[in-house]
Structure formats: C-alpha cells, structure tokens
Amino acid sequence: MVDLPPLFTYSGALAAGLTESAIRHQVRQGRLIVVRHGVYCSRDVWERMGADQRLRHELEIRAVLMSLGGAWVSHYSGAALQQLPLPSGWDEVVTLTRPVRAAGRPSYPGVRFRTAAVPPAHRTTVFGLPVLTVARNVLDIARTDGVAAGLVVGDAALRRDLATPAQLAATVADLAGWPGVSAARLVAEHASGLRESPVESVSYAVFVRRGLALPECNAWLSAERRGGVRADFAWRRHRLLGEADGRVKYDDPWSTAETVLWKEKLRQERLEDLGFVVTRWTGAEIHRDPDAVVARLAERSRRAHEMYGVPMLVR
C-alpha cells in the first residue's frame, strides 16, 4: 500500500506511486474520498473527521487551500479554527479573504471569497494554516453579520484570553471607511469577557442598539463567590435585574431538572430580597422578539419605580 498523508493532491498521489487507474478505482470503490477537485483523503480519515464538525471543516479548509491558495481563512471558518462559537450555526461554506479580487467570476462551489486588505498585523497561523487574527475575525463577523453576532464571538474571545480589548481597538482603527465598520466599532467598544453565554451577548447587543442605559454584567449583589448571589445584568440605579435564561444555566449533571429549577427559584427570591425587581427572558425571545423583552424591562422598571422611587429605565 502506498504511504500517503491524510490529505493529498492528485499529483502527490502519482508522485507517491499510485497510477491514474488505481486512483480512479479507489475512488469508485469508496476507499478514497474526493474532498475537492484534485484533493483526496482516505475513507478512514474522512469518517474520523466526520465525528467532529470542526475537524471536518478544517479538512475542507485544507483541501480548498491546497486547490487555490493565496488567501487567509476568515469569518466563521476562521472562528471555527480558533475554537470560537458560531452565532449562525455551522456554515458548510469555507470562507476565505484575499486582498485582490480574482479576474473574471470563477466559480468555486463551497467557497465564499471576501476581498479586503490583509495587513501583516491581521495575519496569523492556526494548525499551520494562514488565518486572520481573532480580533480581525471578530470584527469582520460584526461587519458582515451585525453587532449581536460580533459580540457573541468577541465576548467569547475575550473570556478565553484569545484577544484583548487593545487588539480589538487597534484592529478596528485599521478598518476605517470599510463597509459595516460602524457595527465593528460597537463590538470593539462593548465586547467583554464578563458575559458567559451567547444569549447574554445577544441581549447586551439589543441594549446597545436600543440606546438603553447599559447594565453591569454578571455583577455580584452580595458577598462574592461562596454564599454570594449575582445577576446576569444589573441596573443598580434602577433597582432592576435581568436574567437571560439560556439552556446552559440548567445543565447540571448532578441534579434533576426539578432540583435545578427549584434552586433557580430560590436564587430569584434572594435577588428580590435584596431589593431588586427581576426580569427574565429566553434566548428564543431575545432573538425573535426583542421588542417584547424591552417592553418587559420597561414594565418591571415601572414596578421598581413604584416600589422604591428609583428612576425608570425606559419611559
């Protein structure tokens, strides 16, 4: 059996000793998988990669670069390589950025090209692949998909120490005048490692875009850590708290669903005993009907105003 790397080209297979007929025969038999035109891997490699979406996407990225080259992995493809969340879910299309638009309109199925400058400070490598930096990918996602998507990726990047606020600020300065840069500026300004879930990031994006007073995120309201209690969002001046209920909050392998929900009920009572009015919403609500969430915040803020005489958040 000819010894081949996990991913190889047609010419590489010939150089390793396979004949043209042998390559065609193994493809027909399903022992070789055509990842891209002229790029192959064994069925064993394909199936092992298929068990993990990120690994499969990495394999497809490598195949595209072997076929085309001259570009940097970017946007959601870059975020996938950098182990960041994907706000819109998995995109089977490989996204690449190159500084010069190709002549004509060549068609590359499964590949999305972006044309934009790629200064040296925006370049890095991941697993040996040319990739835009985390900060650049965060801001490019904001430019193309909006503030909420950019904050989901940016908050995760800061929380995991994959980027810094200074890097976001320096990178967004390089994008002056680019399409969508206003969204990128908002993400560079507001990204925070304090938020712990995509639902919290999307919620904060709504507050920013609606011009609400911005809350503290995951703020401790009594003694910190053991025995303390905190809220996802705290408007202390308005005696108002916000709780974004993502499913992750209820993922407790040591408790039944009923036990976890009971603990959450007790936690809300503790928050209310501290003199706050609590507002809750789900990820589905903040995505599909943010107006309803803002209206609920306004109603709860009115209640806090009546109870404690504090200013209203939304008039």
Tell me what pLDDT residue 102 has: 65
The phi, psi pair for 71, rounded to 5°, reads -150, 170
**Residue 304, pLDDT above cutoff 50:** yes
d(CA 231, CA 268): 9
Higher pLDDT, 104 or 99: 99
3-state secondary structure of 278: strand
Amino acid symbol at 167: Q
Tell me what pLDDT residue 34 has: 95
Tell me what pLDDT residue 139 has: 98
Q: Which pair of structure tokens corresponds to residue 117?
A: 């400058």
Homologous superfamily assigned to 199-308: VSR Endonuclease (3.40.960.10)
Q: How far is CA 233 from CA 159, 226, 249, in A?
A: 17, 19, 15
The dihedral region occupied by 42, where left means phi > 0, alpha psi between -120 and 50, and beta the remainder, is beta
Per-residue pLDDT of 160-178, as tens digits, reads: 999 999 999 999 999 999 9
Supply the pTM of this predicted model.
0.89
Tell me what pLDDT residue 4 has: 87
Q: Which pair of structure tokens corresponds to residue 265?
A: 């009920």
3-state secondary structure of 126: strand
**Residue 227, pLDDT above cutoff 70:** no
Q: Choose the weakest-confidence range: 87-101, 174-188, 275-289.
A: 87-101
Q: Work out the widest C-alpha separation in the chain, in whole angstroms.
A: 84
Within 10 angstroms of residue 164's Cβ, the number of other Cβ atoms is 15
- Per the CB < 8 A criterion, the answer to whether 217 and 239 are in contact is no
Per-residue pLDDT of 50-68, as tens digits, reads: 888 889 999 999 999 998 8
Q: Choose the weakest-confidence range: 87-91, 260-264, 292-296, 305-309.
A: 260-264
Q: What's the angle, vertex CA 256, arms to CA 250 and CA 258, rounded to 5? A: 80
**Residue 249, pLDDT above cutoff 50:** no
Q: Which residues does 106 contact at the CB level (< 8 Å), separation at least 6?
A: none
* Mean pLDDT across 130-135: 98
Tell me what pLDDT residue 256 has: 47
Higher pLDDT, 258 or 145: 145
